[in-house]
């Protein structure tokens, strides 16, 4: 199949789909605002890959600055709430 449009960024692919130029395959969080607003809709959900894990990597140690610990706790909580996983 020869495509009629080729883009090299996810944003370009999403913009093209929003503009009605065809389908795109992106991560759910990349399309979520457009799906929520009704500009895009999901298709072929039975073929979605399993969710990819998210890891926060930081140096281990007892001297972790408080602001880094606060960020890690906030990020973990926000990601769990957003994606519903432990």
* Mean of per-residue pLDDT scores for the chain: 87
Positive or negative, the CA dihedral 55, 57, 62, 63 is negative
pLDDT in tens, 66-86: 898 899 899 888 888 877 655
pLDDT tens, residue by residue, 33-55: 999 999 999 999 898 888 778 88
**pLDDT score of 9:** 96
Using an 8 Å Cβ cutoff, are 68 and 74 in contact?
no
DSSP state of 63: T
- 28-36 and 10-18 helices cross at what angle (nearest 10)? 30
The residue that leads in pLDDT, 16 or 48, is 16
């Amino acid at each position: 199949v020869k495509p009629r449009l080729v883009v090299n960024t996810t944003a370009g692919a999403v913009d093209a789909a929003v503009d009605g130029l065809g389908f795109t395959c992106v991560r759910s969080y990349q399309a979520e605002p457009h799906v929520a607003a009704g500009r895009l809709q999901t298709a072929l959900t039975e073929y979605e890959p399993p969710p990819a894990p998210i890891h926060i990597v930081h140096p281990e140690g007892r001297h972790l600055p408080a602001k880094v610990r606060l960020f890690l706790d906030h990020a973990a909580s926000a990601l769990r709430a957003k994606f519903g996983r432990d």
